[in-house]
Amino acid sequence: MSLFFTKKSDTEKSDKASPAEPSVRPGGLGHVVLAGGLTLMALAVVEQIFDLDGKWIFEPTSTEALAPLVMDGGDPYIRALMRTISASESNDPKPYSLLYGGERFQDFSDHPDRCVPIVAGPNLGDCTTAAGRYQFITTTWIEQARKYHPHPVGFWLWHDYSFAPEDQDQVVYAWLNDSQAWGENLSQRLQDGAVSDVLYLLSPTWTSLGYGIESNSMSASLPQIYEQVLQEELAQTADVQTSAPNVAAQNPGTQTGGF
């Protein structure tokens, strides 16, 4: 699972010098055994997360692990695309609070902006602020939130942009729906069956989609994952459309839709 948005060092990368190596207190054989045990535990964790090529190998056994979107409504083709992007970017049952490397953040009032060292891949040694379901780095989040965030807080040139789960969804949904941003009507291309073409178009932005520098073990399966989650989204849309007339019939004075 690639947890990078671009996996490049961010402009906000820390300029602080690396801390000096800690001194080692002589503590006898017990300390050596303890240190060795901790090292083996750390290697075991890394081995479970990365393969020998430094690629993420954690993945769900089925799309049941792909969390549904928090936002309601919208084009089912774009919704399925959003879930497909997150299948390779943040494949986790709770993706909205995920940092690169697997740690979590608690404060959704803004992008966490925590630069985590990159431990594998072409940008080894840099750090990344990739966070959330779509692994936005800080600069990309601010850039796109300025255009698409539904509820910016502030005035004039100063705004804060909530990083709440629904806001993450809303920003990406509006971005993918903006044909000027991509030079294509992505929804129409998806309806025409050009899933691979759309993933190729998006791969410079989300580099784990199969055509970038960070393909992972999920990348080759993304077209099939898209088709499966699309069926789920279409079924959900059909259920909503079926229930809407029933609600209107039960409440003749109530308008449905439009908000």
Look at strands 158-160 and 116-117 and give their pairing.
unpaired
Q: Point out the least confidently predicted range of 15-24, 192-201, 249-258.
A: 15-24
Bigger pLDDT: 15 or 99? 99
226 token code pair: 């898209």
The torsion angles phi and psi of 7, rounded to 5 degrees, stand at 50, 35
Average pLDDT, the chain: 77
pLDDT at 39: 39
The residue segments making up the domain with residue 107 are: 29-241
Q: Which of 3, 117, 129 is nearest to 55 (CA)?
A: 3
Contact 145, 160 (CB under 8 A): no
Among residues of the chain, what percentage have pLDDT more than 90? 55
The answer, yes or no, to whether residue 247 has pLDDT greater than 80, is no
Q: pLDDT category, 249, cuts 50, 70, 90?
A: low
The answer, yes or no, to whether residue 176 has pLDDT greater than 80, is yes
pLDDT at 211: 87
pLDDT at 242: 76
**What are the pLDDT digits (tens) for 182-207?**
999 999 999 999 999 999 999 999 99
Structural domain contains residue 256: no
Q: pLDDT category, 16, cuts 50, 70, 90?
A: very low
Structural domain contains residue 259: no
Structural domain contains residue 221: yes
Structural domain contains residue 178: yes
Q: pLDDT category, 113, cuts 50, 70, 90?
A: very high
Number of domains in the chain: 1
Buried b (16+ CB within 10 A) or exposed e, 33-45: eeeeeeeeeeeee
What is the C-alpha separation between 48 and 34, in angstroms, rounded? 21
The answer, yes or no, to whether residue 138 has pLDDT greater than 90, is yes
- CATH number of residue 226's parent domain: 1.10.530.10
Structural domain contains residue 195: yes
Q: Point out the least confidently predicted range of 64-78, 99-113, 124-138, 238-252.
A: 238-252
Structural domain contains residue 248: no
Q: Which of 112, 108, 119 is nearest to 42 (CA)?
A: 119
pLDDT at 65: 64
pTM for the model stands at: 0.72
Structural domain contains residue 250: no
Bigger pLDDT: 90 or 249? 90
Long-range contacts of 108-113 (CB under 8 A, 24+ apart): 108/162, 108/163, 108/164, 108/165, 109/160, 109/162, 109/163, 110/160, 110/161, 110/162, 110/163, 111/136, 111/138, 111/141, 111/142, 111/161, 111/163, 112/163, 113/12, 113/138
* Average pLDDT estimate for 174-179: 98
Give the best-scoring range by mean pLDDT among 51-65, 71-85, 238-252: 71-85
Among residues of the chain, what percentage have pLDDT more than 70? 68
Structural domain contains residue 153: yes
Helices 76-89 and 165-177, packing angle to 10 deg: 120
